[in-house]
């Protein structure tokens, strides 16, 4: 057998490069998924004692859990007066609507952009702009299918009021769905956040509503796919930014 004639530094560099390649292909996992993956892994070991086939099914379930709770890195546009998608998914609706009453905002309608997440989408939520979290309100509710219009009003939800660094008020609402029964929110009132920052997660199919000021220019349409933290959903009212080249 031939010896590896590379210097230690060269071998370490090659290993680091390989690790970087793996990280680029296999996204990291959100911490909320660790108990599920650990439980599935333990179950796999127990099933493996019964039969190889059962162990294989357990291994596949473990891999699926790790994949479901993935948190891929995203490159967020560095532009002022924009709102990026708070989640991966499909735009299901763009309408005028009142923001959640529990936030205690003055009466008035905003533009609501709804993004539906299937069980195959990335399920972490990201802040649509840089700014400060002014209010966080959780409200229990029903567990209707998240793609229904009335899910925004009737389902369990967690609403967040964000004042951007440019002074715009945005509202982001995590909505539980038919299967999703657990909303995780990792920010609190007074927190400063950056655009595209992961701030929460909804387990197993859900919906996220983004409310932007009336007069904002919405750049997406129903049926369009979004990438959380990257897709620009709207140019906010009063923006001087132009999308023309």
Beta carbons of 115 and 202 less than 8 angstroms apart: no
Kind and range of the H or E element at 197? none
Backbone angles phi, psi at 214, to 5 degrees: -60, 145
Instruction: Answer yes or no: 2 catalytic.
Output: no
- What's the Rg (C-alpha) of the chain? 21
Q: Which of 152, 206, 239, 242 is catalytic?
A: 206
Taking residue 7's Cβ as centre, other Cβ atoms within 10 Å add up to 9
142/133 Cα distance (integer angstroms): 26
Q: Give the residue from 123, 128, 117, 130 showing the smallest Cα distance to 27.
A: 123
107 three-state secondary structure: coil
- Any alpha helices (H) in 69-216, and if so which ranges? 151-154
Strands 232-235 and 157-164: unpaired
From residue 98, alpha-carbon distances to 52, 106, 139 in Å are 55, 10, 16
Q: Which residue numbers are catalytic? A: 206
């Amino acid at each position: 057998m031939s010896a590896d004639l590379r210097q230690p530094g060269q071998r370490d560099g090659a290993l680091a490069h390989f690790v970087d390649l793996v990280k680029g292909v296999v996204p990291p996992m959100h911490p909320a998924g660790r108990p599920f993956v650990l439980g599935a892994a333990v179950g796999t070991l127990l099933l493996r004692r019964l039969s190889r086939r059962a162990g294989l099914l357990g291994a596949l379930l473990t891999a699926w859990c790790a994949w479901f709770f993935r948190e891929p890195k995203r490159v967020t546009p560095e532009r002022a007066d924009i709102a990026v998608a708070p989640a991966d998914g499909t735009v299901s609706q763009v309408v005028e609507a009142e923001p959640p009453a529990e936030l205690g905002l003055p009466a008035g309608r905003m533009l609501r952009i709804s993004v539906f997440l299937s069980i195959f989408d990335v399920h972490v939520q990201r802040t649509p702009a840089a700014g400060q979290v002014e209010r966080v309100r959780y409200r229990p509710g029903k567990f209707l299918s998240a793609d229904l219009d009335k899910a925004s009003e009737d389902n369990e939800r967690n609403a967040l009021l964000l004042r951007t660094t440019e002074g715009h008020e945005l509202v982001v609402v995590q909505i539980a769905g038919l299967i999703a029964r657990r909303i995780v929110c990792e920010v609190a009132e007074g927190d400063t956040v950056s655009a595209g920052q992961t701030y929460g997660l909804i387990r197993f199919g859900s919906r996220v509503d983004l409310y932007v000021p009336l007069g904002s220019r919405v750049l997406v349409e129903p049926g369009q796919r979004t990438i959380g933290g990257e897709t620009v959903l709207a140019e906010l009212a009063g923006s001087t930014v132009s999308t023309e080249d």
